[in-house]
Amino acid sequence: MTSFIRVAVLSAVTSLCALAVVPPALAQVGISLNFGDVAVGYQDGYYDSHHHWHHWAHPNDYQAYSRAHPEHYHAYTHDRDEPHH
């Protein structure tokens, strides 16, 4: 019985060590941006498809959106053309 326990412990340790060493090909880090429900983007935020206004979640999100969706991006703030009272 003692040798069975040694084999079981050695097997478990070997398995854990194999998991601790991850080959670089499997340890890829990626960044993806999901702009979800953005209908029209501006420098200061965006309108969703229900015409609700949102500020960008991160300061540089508008730059990424403008590159990914130039046809739906305006390089100015959303209130530029609104009448000022």
The model's confidence at residue 35, banded by pLDDT at 50, 70 and 90, is confident
Q: What confidence score (pLDDT) does residue 51 get?
A: 93
DSSP assignment string, 5-64: HHHHHHHHHHHHHHHHS--TTT---------TTEEEEETTEEEETT--EE--SSTTHHHH
Residue 21 has pLDDT above 60, yes or no: no
Compute the distance between CA of residue 76 and CA of residue 40 in angstroms, rounded to an integer.
12
> By percentage, how much of the chain surpasses pLDDT 90?
48
Residue 14 has pLDDT above 90, yes or no: no
Answer with the residue of higher pLDDT: 9 or 41. Answer: 41
